[in-house]
Amino acid sequence: MKKRDRMPEEAGKDSRKNDVRHGVHLVKDTAKGHGLYARKLYIPGQILGFFSGNPVKEDTRNSLTLDGQKIEPTGGLKFLNHSCSPNGAFRGRWLVAVKRIMPGEELTIDYLATESTISNPFVCMCGSEGCRGAL
């Protein structure tokens, strides 16, 4: 094994530059579109990434309202999908695990936790108990 190929223990310490910690999350293109998948186990409270992006005036398809500001994402967290029973949530602009997340599991947030209206309404198929259905 070449030294350079080794993944540092705490990959992507500078998570502000790499909002999706380098090599930790995987973007997959699946039947339901792009999604972010954990590559390792997370326990509640652990940081999953930083929502990097630029302030915008109007809601966009991918924007989130964080710290009182609409942010258009420029990093990997724009691939976060919605679940009515999510395993992640934002604390400010940091995405934090709120459940135990197994490797290979999709990272999700509740869009309605940050947005008062959904600019692109859709029918939720998260399959969780208490799924809201149409958003």
Binding residues for Zn ion, rule: CB under 5 A, are 84, 124, 126, 131
Residue with token string 């509740």:
110
In whole angstroms, the minimum distance from the beta carbon of 124 to Zn ion comes to 3
CB of 122 to Zn ion, least distance (A): 10
Shortest distance in whole angstroms from residue 114 CB to Zn ion: 16
Nearest CB to Zn ion, comparing residues 68 and 127: 127
Residue closer to Zn ion by CB (options 20, 135) is 135
Closer CB to Zn ion, residue 7 or residue 122?
A: 122
Provide the β-strand partners of residue 94. Answer: 50, 91
Q: In sequence order, which residues have a C-beta less than 8 Å from that of residue 26 and are 6 or more positions away?
A: 36, 37, 38, 39
State the Cα–Cα distance between residues 105 and 48, nearest whole angstrom. Answer: 13
> What's the rounded Cα separation, in Å, for the pair 26 and 38?
7
CB of 125 to Zn ion, least distance (A): 7
Q: Which is nearer to Zn ion, 84 or 97 (CB)?
A: 84
